[in-house]
Structure 1
Amino acid sequence: MINVLKLFVYFLSCTFLPYSKGTKCGEACHRTDPDKINIHLVPHTHDDVGWLKTVDQYYYGSNKGHAPFGVQYILDSVVSELQKNTIRRFVYVESAYFWRWWEELDENDKEMVKNLINEGRLEFLHGGWCMSDEATPHYTAMIDQMTLGLKFLNSTFGECGRPSVSWQIDPFGHSSEVAIEFAEMGFDALFLGRIDHEDHKARKNDKNMEVVWRPDPTLGEAGDLFVSVLYNLYTAPAGFCFDTYCSDEPIMDNKKFHGYNIDEKIKKFEDQMEQYGAAYKAKNILVTMGSDFTYSVAASWFKNIDKLIKYTNSRSKTLNLLYSTPSCYVKAVNSLNLTWSTKEDDDFFPYGSDEHSYWTGYFTSRPTLKYMVYKANNILQATKQLATVIGNKFEDEEFEFKRALAIAQHHDGVSGTEKQHVADDYAVYLEEGINAGKKIFIETYKTLYGVDYPDDQHFGNLRNISQFNITEDNQNFVITLYNPLSRIISTPIKFPVQQSFHYKIYHCNGTTVEYDLIPISANVLKLPGRHSNATHDIIFIAKDLPPLGITNYYIQVTTENLSNAALTAVSNNNSIITLSNGNITLEFNKTDGLLQSVTKNGKTWPFYQNFYIYNAAKGYNYNADTRASGAYIFRPIEIDPKPVSLTANITQYHGINVFEVHQTFSEWLSQIVRIYKDSVDIEFEWLIDSIPITDWTGIELVTRYTTDVNSNSTFYTDSNGRRWMKRIRNKRKYWNLTITEPVASNYYPLTTSICLRDNTKQVTVITDRPEGGTSMHDGELELMLHRRLLYDDDKGVVEPLDETAFGKGLSVRGTHIVQINELTTSDVEHRLKAVESAYHPVPVFAKTLFHLNEWITNYNRTFSLLLKELPPNIHILTLERWQKNQLLLRLEHIFQANENRDYAHPVDINIKEIFKFFGIYKIQELTLAANLEKEKLKRLKWNFERQNNTSISSKLINGTITLLPMQIKTFLLFIEEKDAQN
C-alpha cells in the first residue's frame, strides 16, 4: 500500500511544476499547458461572518439546529490535509475567523501554518475582516474593515500573507466605489459571483466574463481593475461537491468494487468544462471547488480532487487540470497578453437572480440595525482620532471597537439579510464596541482637561426616542462635544428634559446659549418600551466647533421663568401655513396638511411630500412567478403604491433656533418637518410606530418627494457615500433590460444621498442610514424607509423579515435632509452634508457636582488637534494610532472632477503643518489599506479597449501632497509627542 501511495504522489508531482525552496511568495504556481485548456481547480470555503448563526456560533460549531458547521474544524482539517501532499492548494478569505483560530494555536502549529503560507500552498484572498456587503456599507467602514484584516495578515505573515486578489463572490451586487478602493489597495484582480442574470447570460454568450472595470475613468490606471465573473456562482460544478454534507457521489476508481464510476465522472466533468470554456476568452478556466462552510472533512475533497486531476489528465486530449489559486490563475491569464473589453463609469447594481427576484429589498432591510452600524462608525472615527492624544493606552478597547464594527460590514450583516438572533448579536457587539470607545473619550478628556473631569459619561443612545436619565433627572450636567470633521462647523444638539424645570445653557467660556424647548410629539411619548418622564426636548445650536476639536457646555436647572424658550404653537387662519427662517420658506396646504412649495433665493418651486405603501408579494417560491418579497427580494404587487393618507393633522411651532411643523398621517405614522435658523436644509424626521398588517400581506413603506425638476428618466445615487452614479429608469448600460419587475428593477442602493437635476437646479435627499431609492416618475424621488414582511423569499435565511419589539412591529425613527440648490451657484452643501452625516460631532453627557463658576474656572477651554481647519474640499478620512510613535493618516478630496467650479480642483496640503500635538519627522505613503509602501506596489498591467494609461498620482514632496478630485492618499506618520495640555 505504501508503494502504491508513493507512485501516486510521484505521478501527480510530475504533472506540475513543483515548488522549490527559495521560490518567492506567490510564485508557487503549478505549470499550465499552452496546448490545452487549463482548468484551475481552486479549493475554498465561503465562511459567512454571521448569517444563520452568529459569528461565534459559526466559529465554534454551536447551535447546530441552524447549521452544523464549525469554522475552527474546517481550518484544522484543511491544514492537516495540505501537509499530506505538497501539490495541494487552498485559499482562505475571512480574517475574522482566521485571527480567532490563529490565536488558539501553539507555537509549533503556528510555524507549520507559516510554512504553508510561505510555500504558497495556503493562500489568502481578499484579506478583509469579512467579505463585506457592497450596497450598504459606508466607504469609511469598508476601508477600515479591510485595513483591520490586512494589518493582521501583514504583521503575522509578512509579504507572503499579503493577498493580491480580491474575492467578492457572494455580495448581492457590486459597487464602483468598492472596486476603486480594491484597485487602490493594490489588488491585481477582483472575482465576482453574483451579477444580474441577464448580464451573466449576455457575458457568457459574448465571451465577456472577464473585463477591465474602469469605475471612474478620470482616475486613470490607478482605478482600473481586472474583473472575472465566476461561471457557477462560487460552488463546485454539478456532481462534483465532495463535502460530507453534499449528496454527490465520490469518485470510485477501483474496478474490483461495485460503484466504479470513473468513466461517467470524467465525461460529466469534460462536458461541463466545455460549457465553461465557451464563456471565457482565455484558455484558462477557474473552477471553484467548495461552497458555504465546506471542508469540515477536507480529506473528502482533496482525495477526490486528486483523483479528478489524475484521471482527467491521463485521459483528456484537451484539458489540463491543476491545483491552483486565483492569483495563479490571474498570472496565467495576464501572461497571454490579450486585449480585454471594458466596463466604464458603471457598477453591477441592481442584482436580479431571475426575472422576478431583484435583490433590492435588502437596501432597506433592518433599518434600525443599519442606523446603529452607521452611528457606531461615526463614533469609531472620533474614537480613533481622540486615541492619538493618549497613545496606545487603550489599544485593546480600540481593537474591540474596530472588530465589532468590522463584522457588521459582512454581506449578511449591515445588509439586514441575517436571522433575527444574528442581527441581535451584531447589535450587542456594536454596543460593546461603543462602550469600549467611550473609555477612550473619557481618558482623552481627562488628559486634556485634567483628572477631575467627569468620568461617568454617556452617549445617550436612547435620545432618538427622547429618553435619557442624565438630562432628565439631574440639576446640573455637562455636554462635551467632539467634532471629527476637518473644518469648523455648527450643529444642533437635542436632548430630553422634564417640563417642570427651567434651564440655562452656558458655553465653556461662560456665555449663555439660546435654546428652544420642543414638545415631544404624542407619537414618541407612546412608543412601546419608552420609559421616560421627559415631555420636551431642548435644542440649541453648538456654534463654531473647532476641527478635530472639543468644546463643552454646562446645563443648569434654574428657578428663573424662561418660558420664552419654549416653542410657540402658531395658529393660522389662512389656507396656507408658512414655515420660514428668512433663508428658506416652506408652504403647507392647511386643508390637507401637506407640504406644497419651497421658496429660496426669491424663487418658489412646487414641492410635495407624502408616504406610500407597496403591498408585498406573497408566495412560496415554487418558481420565479411565485417569488415572495423577503429580506433580500423586493417584489411589490402593484406598480403605483397607495398613500398612507391623503391628509395630515398638523401643528406649527416657531422658536428661536428652530421652526417646525408636526404632521400626523395615521396612528402609526408621523413626521416633523423642520428648518433651523441660518440654514437652507429641510429636515424630515419621520416616525414609524409598528406597521399594521392585514390579510397577511407584507408592507413596504416609502416616502416620495415630488418636484418640478425635468429629470428625463435620470437620477443619481451615491456609491457608498462618495461618487454619484447615474441611473436611467428602465435601462442598463451594457445589456437590454427586460422589464418584468418594473419597480424593483429600478431600485438602487443609496448610502447617504440621492438626487435629481436638470439644467437649473438639483434636489438632493441625504439620509441617516442606507436605504433603497429610485425615481419612478420624472421630478420624483422615492426612498424606502421600512419593511414588514410575512413570507420568506427562499434565499437562505428561512425566516420572514418581521421585526418586532415589545409585542408589536418594530418602530423606526429616522431623518432625511433635503437640499434644493440652483446649479448656477457655486454650491457645495450636498457634499459637505454627506461627509457630515458620517462624521457628525459626537456629544457625551455627564452629571456634575461642579457649580457653574467652578466649571468655567477649571474648564474654560476648547481644544483642536489641528493647527487650523482644512479647506472644505479636503477631509481627514482616517487618523489613528498605528504602532508606537506612528500614526495612520488618510486625506481625501471629497469632490468629483467637474462637479463644482470652485472646489473640484487639485489642492496642495502640507502634512507637516496640520497637527498640533505631535511633530512629524518622517512620512511614508502607503496603499489604501496601509499594508504596503506605495513605491513597492507593482500591479499587473492589462491591455484593454480605449486604453488610457495616464497616471494621475501625485508624489509627496517635502511633506506636501497634491490631492486631486476624489483621491484618497494614505500615509504613515513617524511622530514625536508633544504635551497635550500645552
Structure 2
Amino acid sequence: MEYADMYLSGSSVNFAHSGMREATWLKSSLILCLLLSTTIAEERLDIHIIPHSHCDPGWLKSFDGYYQESVKHILNNVLDTLSRDSSRTFNWAEISFFNMWWQEQSEERRSQWKRMVQSKQIEFIGGGYVQNDEAGSSLDIVINQVSDGHEWIQKNFGTRPRIAWQIDPFGHSSLTPSLFSQMGYEAMVINRIHHRLKGDYKSKKQMEFVWKASPSLGEEHSMFTHVLHTHYSAPDGFDWENYGWEMPRQKISDSNVEYKARDLINMLRARSQSYKTKHLLVAWGDDFKFANAQEQFSNMDQILKYINANADKLNADIKYSTLSRYFDAVKETTEKEKIKFPLYSETDFFPYADNDDSYWTGYYTSRAHSKSYHRRSIALIRNAETFYTMARSEIDKLSDKPQIDVQELQNDLVTANYVRNTSESNSDASQDLDLFAHHDGITGTARSDVVRDYLERMGRSQEKSKKVLKQSVETLLTHQGQRPPLKDNPELYEFSSAGEKCKPIVLTNSLGWNRINTVCVVSDGQSLSVWNDNTEVPSQISPVYLKDGDNVKEMPELNRNEICFEGDVSGLGIKTYFLCNNVKSEMSDVATVEIFDKAKQPGSKNKMMDDKAEMKIDNEYFTVTFGDKGFISGIVDKKSKKTYKVTTSYSEYQTNRGGAYIFIPSGDAQDVWNDMNQLHIFKATGPIMEEAILYFGRHNIIRVSLYNHRGTINERFISVKQNVKSSQPNRELVVRYSTELKTGTTFFTDNGIEMLARTGTGATQTRYYPMQSTAFMQDSSTAVQFTVLSRTVSGCTMNKEGSLEVMLHRSCHQDDGRGLSERMEDGAPVQNDHILLLEDLSLTEMRRQQMQLNHEHPLQILTSDPTEKESFLSKYRTEYHPLVEEGFPNNVHVYSLKYRDATSREIVLRLGHIYESSNANELAKSVNVDIQGLFREDSWTIDGITQKGLSLNEKVEKYVWPVDGTEKVSPLTDAILSAKRIKSGKQNSDEEGVFLSQDALELARKKKEQQEKLKHQQEANQTPAAAEEGATPREGNGRILLSVSDDVIIHPVEINTYLTALTPSAAFKQELVEKFSSSSTPVRPNRPVAKPQAAEPRKQQAQDRDRPRVDGKRANNVNDRGRLSGESGVSGNEVSTLFILTVVGVGLVLFSFLQLQRRRLRSYLACKYLVKWLLIRKIEGASQ
C-alpha cells in the first residue's frame, strides 16, 4: 500500500466516472496486472557453462612434472568423457602441454579430438604456447609465444582461436589488447583486476566493456573485454573434484537435484546483475581440474537436465558452452536490443590488489636474475633467427646447381633441430623461451626447483641459438667454398704465443639500421690493437681490477686487460674486426687509471675521495660528478651549458610480510653501503670512454661510463651498469635518481610500445608499476625530461617529486600466502644496465625508441682461434650487408625476419612503427615503406608479399562493438579506493584477499542446451573486407596479396606481418655459385663490399589514415524497443481509465527498476495492491 499511496495520494482523477462498464473495468485491470507482472519479472537468463582446466606450465611443480602427474590424465579423460555425450563441451588454452600430449596420441584419438574441434564441441581459447604474464613479458616474447601456439593449431587443426583467455595474470597491461587485436582475437576474458575496481564495475553493470588501450591505434584495434565475476573457479559447491580442506562435495541425486539446481540459479542470477545482457558466462574449472572428468560431468549433467526441464518455472536456460558461443550470443542480443557498452580507454589494470593492504607489486622484480637472463636469451635468439634466415635463403636458391652440395650446407646450418625444431617435442630454443613467459615463470612466483628448471631450459636455448648463429654467420662469410671456423665469444681472448697473431671479432647486428657501439673484450695480450681489415681503428686498453677481500687492487699476475673500440655495423649486417697482439700500433691508447678510497687503507697509495675536484668523468656532451659517498652528485650538459643537481642513491626496504607476489615495506627505504671502509672507486680515462667503477663490499659493483663516439647523437647518454643484490633476506634493494625537476606527482612507464602516465601518490606499494624498459619524468616549465632506459623489466615508482625509484633486487624470508607456500629467498646477483638521459624532452622523444632497441639488442660477438690476419682476409669474407646504405627508416623496426618453420620456404617479416601518435616529432607520422627498395639491387629481391595477422593467422574483419560514448569505465582512482566497501568486490573466496584457487569461489549451475545460432555471423566474421587501394583483391580465407612494387603503410605503434621469400638477383646468384664452389685457381683477396649507391629518397610521411570503419550492424533506434501503444479503444473526448492505469504502472515499473532493483518483490506486491485498491474504489463508486 505504501507504493500506491506514494503515487495516488492527492490525485484529482475521479476513477469512478470513467463511463466504462464494470466488465470492461475488470478486463482492463486484469490486462494491467498481467502487464505489470510480465514487466517486473526477472529477465530469462541464458547461462553458458564454460568447462576448462587452468594448467600452469610450471608453478609448484615443473612443466614436465605437471604434465606427467596431471595434464596428460586430464586430456585423456576429457576426450573419453566428451566422446560419450556430444552436448558436453570443453575449452583448452595452453598449447605447450597440449603439444606434448598430442605427440603421444594414436591417429584414432587425434581424429576424435579433431572431429570435436570441427563440430565446436571443443574450442581452443587463447591458444598461445602459454598464458603469458602481462607485466614482465616483453613485446617480442608475447608475439613469439602466441604465434607459436597459433601456428601449431593452424597446422594441426586448420583453425584459429577467436577469444583471448587471460584469466590468471596478476593485473592486465594495455599492451595486451593492442597486440591481441592485431592477432585476430575478437574478444578477451580477463580476471585479476583490483578488488575495489571489480566491486565498482559490478555495481554499475560494467563487467563487459570496450577497451581502447592505445591512443595511437584506430577503433578497429579496440577489444571487447569480459571480466570474470568471481575468479575462474567453479561456483562454490559445484566442483566434484575438490580435494582441498573443505568437506567432499555432495554428489547429485534425485533427492537433492532440485535444491542444488535452485541454489545454482539463485547464485547465477545474482551474478547476472553485473552484466548488460541476459547471457552469463560461468567458468567451471580451476587449476588442473577434470582429471576425473566423468565425475564432474555426470553430476553437472543432472543439474542441467533439471533446470532445462523446468526452464519456464526457473526462468533460465543453461548449457555447456564455449567462449565463441557465448560471445556470439552476446553479439546477437546486442544488435537485437540495441545495447551499447561502456568504454575503457588508454590505461591498464596495474597494480592488482586482492585486498586493501595486499598489492601484487613485488613480482615486478622477484627473481631479477631470471628476468634479465630471459631478455638476453630473447636478444640472442633474434640474432640467430635473423642470420639463419639469410644464410638458408642463400643455400635454398642453389638447389639447381649440381656442383654445390646443398644438403651438406643445410646440415651444417642445423636447419631442423635448434631454432625451429620439428622432431623433438618441446625442445627447441624458441619454445624454451616461450615457456618462461608463463605467468608463474617470468613473474618469479614459482618454487625454487621450478625456477632452476626454467633457467636450465633458457641455458639450453642459448646454446642452441649460439650454434645456429655461429653456423649461419660462417655460411654468410663463406668464400669460394671455404667457411671460417667461428667460435662463441669467450670470457678471455687468449694469445698463447708471443707471435704476431690476431683473433677475429665478428659483430652481428640484428636491427634494421646502422649502429656504432662501444665493444669491449678482455684479453691476456700485453700489446693489443684493433684492426678493420688492414686499417687500424682507435682503441683503449685498461687493466682489469679485481676484488681481493675488501680491497680493490690491480692483479698484474693475471695478465688481464680490457680493450674497447667502436664497432660500426650496417643494418642486418656482419662486420669483422681483428684483435691483434704484438702488432705495431699507432692508435691503441692505455687508459689513465686512478683508484680512490673513502677510508685510508694501510700501505695503500690510492687517492682519497675528499679530493672532489678529481671525482668526475667527461666526454663531449657531459660532465658527471661524484659525491663523497661515491654516487653521482651532478650532471653538466656541455651543449646547453646547464648544470643539473642529479643524485643517485641505493636503499633497501625492510619487510616481514612480503613474498614472491606482494610488496609490503615496513616504512621507508634506508640507505645501504654506509661502511666507507668497503667503498672503492676505479677511474679510467681514455680516448674511447671515461668511466668510474664503484665497488661496495664483496658483491655490489656500479659502473658509470661516458662514451666518445665521433659526435653520434645516439651515444649522448650516461651508462650505469649495476651488478647488485640485496644485503640479506627481507630486504628489497632500490636505486633512486633524484633531480630538482618540477614534475608534480606524475611520471611515466612503458608497456613495451607506449608510455602511460602514472601517479606518485599513496602508500609506496600502491604506486609501484611495471617498467618494461623505460621510465621518465618531465618538467613542463623547462621542457626538460629525465629518462631511464633499462635492459630488463623492473618495478618503478616516483619516490617524491623529481625522484624516480627503480627496484633492482628483492629477497623475502617468508611466504605471502598466495599459494606458493615457500619463501622467495634470492641470493643471485642481478646485472641491471640503465641508460640515463637528461635533456630537452623533444630531443629525448626523437631518439629514445631507437636507443632502447639498441640497448635491448646488443651486438653479438663471435671469434675464432688465433690466426694471421692476412690469411683470414684472403680466405673468407669479412662483411655482409644486404640492405641499402641507410637501412630501414628510423621509425620502423624489424620485429621478425625468420623462416616460418624448419620446412617452410616462407619467411615471416614483421615491421613495426616504434613511435606513438602523441609524439610531436616528425618521425611519429605514418610511414611508407618500400620493402623491395630496402635491399641492395645486387643482393636480394622480394619474391611476393602476403599480409597476415600478427600471429600469422589470416586477417579478418572485426566486429565493432557499439559503444556508449557517455559511459566511461573508471580506472583506479582515489575516489574508488576511499569508497565504502563493496562486498561484491571480493575476488577469490569468502575470506577477502586469500587466494585459495583449489577451494575458492562463488555460485553457479547450468541449464539445457539451446540450438547453436549465429553460424552465419561466424562465417561473416571470417569474410575479408574489400581490398585496400593499391592491393590485389584478397584470395580465399582473407589472404591479402600485395604487389611487390607497392609501398606498405605503417601507422604509429602498429606492427604489420608479411609472408615473403628472398630471391637472389641474377648477379648475386652467380656470386653465390662462386661463393660456395671450391676453386683451384688462386683465391682472390677478400675486399670490403663496395658501398651501394644511395637509394631514391623514401617517403617519410604517409597520407592521412583512410581506414574504412567496419559496420557493426548496430540496431537503428533505441526508442523502437518496447514502446507501449497509446490506443485504448476509448473515444477521443473521454479519459481512458486503462491508459491512465498503464501510465501509472509503467512509471512504477521504471522507478522500481532504476532506483530499487533489489526490492523487486516488494514492488510487485505494491502493484498488486494498487490494482486491488482501484477495484474496490470502482465497486464503491458503482454502489453509490
TM-score tier, shorter chain, comes to: 0.7 to 0.9
What residue identity is the alignment partner of 1:829?
Answer: R
Q: Aligned to 2:530, which of 488, 505, 508?
A: 505
* Structure 1 residue aligned with 2:464: 436
Post-superposition offset of 1:708? 1.8
Shift in Å, 1:477: 2.6
What are the ranges of 5 or more consecutive residues in structure 2 without an aligned counterpart? 1-40, 397-409, 421-427, 596-606, 710-714, 968-1024, 1032-1041, 1076-1184
Aligned to 1:874, which of 852, 867, 892? 892
Please tell me whether residue 772 in structure 1 is matched to residue 772 in structure 2: no
- Contact 1:575–1:590 at 8 Å: present in 2 too? no
Indicate how the Cα distance of structure 1 residues 824 and 484 shifts in structure 2: closer, same or farther if over 3 A, else same: closer
Instruction: Quote the residue 2:92 is aligned against.
Output: 92
Tell me the alpha carbon deviations over residues 897-946 of structure 1, each in whole angstroms, 9 at most, x when there is no partner.
131422111211112222355422321111111121x2xx0322200123
* AA at the equivalent of 2:594: A
Taking the TM superposition and a 5 Å limit, the aligned residue runs for 1:375-386 are 375-386=376-387
Offset of residue 73 of structure 1: 1.1
* Match of residue 229 from structure 2: 231
Deviations 1:865-913 (A, max 9, x none): 3234011111111111126332111111111113142211121111222
Match of 2:66 among 21, 33, 58: 58
Residues 693-734 of structure 1, C-alpha deviations (whole Å, 9 max, x = no match): 3xxx60000000011221110001010x2100111223xxxx
771-780 or 470-479, larger mean C-alpha shift: 470-479
Tell whether the 8 Å contact from 2:240 to 2:251 is kept in structure 1 after alignment: no
| Offset, 1:534 | 5.7
Q: Larger deviation: 386-395 or 422-431?
A: 386-395
State the AA in 1 paired with 2:361. T
Structure 1 residues 591 and 436: CA distance shift in structure 2, 3 A: closer
Q: Within 5 A, what are the aligned runs for 1:783-802?
A: 783-802=806-825
More displaced 10-residue stretch of structure 1: 389-398 or 753-762? 389-398
Aligned twin of 2:995: none
Please give the alpha-carbon distance, in whole angstroms, between the structure 1 residues aligned to 2:1062 and 2:700: 53
Alignment counterpart, residue 619 of structure 2, candidates 572, 581, 584: 581
Equivalent pair of 1:681/1:819 in contact (CA under 8 Å): yes
SS at match of 2:216: helix
- In the alignment, structure 1 segments of 5+ residues that lack a partner are 1-32, 62-69, 461-467, 619-627, 731-738, 804-808
User: 1:395 is paired with a residue of what secondary structure?
Assistant: coil
Structure 2 partner of 1:909:
929
What residue in structure 2 maps to residue 20 of structure 1?
A: none
What letter corresponds to residue 383 of structure 1 in structure 2? A
Distance 1:96 1:178, change over 3 A: same
Corresponding residue number in structure 2 for 1:782: 805
| 2:863 is the alignment partner of 1:863 | no
- Deviations 1:126-185 (Å, cap 9, x if unpaired)? 1110000110111011101111110010011103xx110000000011111121100111
Give the letter aligned to residue 668 of structure 2: I
Residue 367 to residue 977, structure 1, CA distance change in 2 (3 Å)? same
Say if 1:824 and 1:217 are closer, same or farther in 2 by CA, change over 3 A.
closer
Deviations 1:597-620 (CA, angstroms, capped at 9, x unpaired): 33242211111101011002x2xx
* CA distance, structure 2, for counterparts of residue 593 and residue 630 of structure 1: 30
Change (3 A) 1:893 1:50: same
From 574, 595, 616, the counterpart of 1:550:
574
Residues 598 and 607, structure 1, Cα contact 8 Å, conserved in 2: no
In the alignment, which of 622, 635, 641 is matched to residue 664 of structure 2?
635
- Kindly state the Cα deviation for residue 532 of structure 1 after the two structures are TM-superposed: 13
Give the whole-Å Cα distance in 2 for the aligned partners of 1:778 and 1:112.
Answer: 62
Report the Cα distance in structure 1 between the residues aligned to 2:454 and 2:548, rounded to whole angstroms. 26
- Following TM superposition, by how much is the alpha carbon of 1:859 offset from its aligned partner in structure 2, in angstroms? 3.5
Quickly say closer, same or farther: Cα 1:359–1:456, change in 2 above 3 A.
same
Per-residue deviation, residues 392-427 of structure 1 (Å, max 9, x unmatched): 841331121111111111111111111111111111
RMSD: 2.8
**Does 750-759 or 663-672 show the bigger shift?**
663-672
Letter in 1 for 2:278: K
Q: Provide the rounded CA distance (Å) in 2 between the counterparts of 1:586 and 1:485.
A: 30
* CA deviation after TM superposition for structure 1 residue 649, in Å: 4.1
The secondary structure found in structure 2 opposite 1:179 is helix
Q: Tell me which residue corresponds to 2:304.
A: 309
Give the secondary-structure state (helix, strand or coil) at the position aligned to 2:922: coil
Which is worse superposed, 306-315 or 579-588? 306-315
Task: Give 3-state SS (helix, strand or coil) of 2:184's partner.
Answer: coil
Q: Which residue of 2 aligns with 1:683?
A: 719
CA distance in 1, matches of 2:945, 2:612: 65
- Looking at structure 1, the residues matched to 543 and 355 of structure 2 have their Cα atoms a distance apart, in angstroms, of 49
> Which residue of the partner structure matches residue 284 of structure 2?
289
CA distance in 2, matches of 1:670, 1:847: 32
Residue 539 to residue 779, structure 1, CA distance change in 2 (3 Å): farther
Residue 1006 of structure 2: aligned partner = none
Distance 1:471 1:353 in 2: 56
Whether the 8 Å CA contact 2:386–2:897 is kept in 1: the answer is yes
Instruction: Note the 1:125-140 alignment, pairs <5 A.
Output: 125-140=125-140
More moved, 329-338 vs 343-352: 329-338
Distance 1:263 1:134 in 2: 43
Q: 1:270 to 1:836 in 2, by over 3 A?
A: same
Inter-partner Cα distance in structure 2 for 1:414 and 1:876: 24
- 1:53-452 correspondence runs (5 A): 53-61=61-69, 70-159=70-159, 162-243=160-241, 245=243, 247=246, 249-250=248-249, 252-254=251-253, 260-315=255-310, 316-337=313-334, 338-391=339-392, 393=410, 394-399=415-420, 400-450=428-478, 452=482
Give the match's secondary structure for 1:418.
Answer: coil
Question: C-alpha displacement at 1:364, in angstroms?
Answer: 0.7
Check the 8 A contact 2:651/2:669 in 1, yes or no.
no
Between the aligned partners of 1:471 and 1:771, the Cα distance in structure 2 is 37
2:913 corresponds to 1:896: no
Contact between 2:173 and 2:350, CA under 8 Å: does it hold in 1?
Answer: yes
Residue equivalent to 1:755: 776
Aligned partners of 1:515 and 1:538 also within 8 Å: no
Report the secondary structure of 2:133's partner residue: coil
Bigger mean CA deviation after superposition, 572-581 or 110-119: 572-581
How many Å separate the matches in 2 of 1:209 and 1:539? Answer: 59
User: What is the TM-score with the length of structure 1 in the denominator?
Assistant: 0.86
The answer to whether the 8 Å contact 1:477/1:555 transfers is: yes
Of 609, 612, 624, the residue aligned with 2:651 is 612
Q: Is the 8 A contact 1:490 1:541 kept in 2?
A: no
2:508 to 477, 482, 485: 482
Match of 1:302, SS state, is helix
Aligned to 2:993: none
Report the 3-state secondary structure (helix = DSSP H, G, I; strand = E; otherwise coil) of the residue aligned with 1:307: helix
* More RCO (CA 8 Å, sep 6+): 2
CA separation in 2, counterparts of 1:445 and 1:947?
58
Q: How many residues are treated as equivalent by the alignment?
A: 889
Q: Is residue 184–residue 927 contact of structure 1 (8 Å, CA) maintained in 2?
A: yes
1:821 paired to 2:839:
yes
Q: 1:587 to 1:287 in 2, by over 3 A?
A: same
- Partner of 1:884: helix, strand, or coil? coil
Q: 1:535 to 1:629 in 2, by over 3 A?
A: farther
1:250 CA displacement: 4.6
- Mapped pair 1:48 → 2:70: no
CA radius of gyration, larger in: 2
On the 8 A contact 1:478/1:845 being kept in 2, the answer is yes
Q: Is the 8 A contact 2:612 2:627 kept in 1?
A: no
1:500-550 C-alpha deviation (Å, 9 max, x unpaired): 63322222x2222322233444359999xxx99866452423332110000
Q: Is the 2:702–2:722 Cα contact (8 Å) retained in structure 1?
A: yes
Contact kept? 1:575, 1:591, Cα under 8 Å? no
Residues 748/532 of structure 1: CA separation in 2 closer, same or farther (3 Å cut) = farther
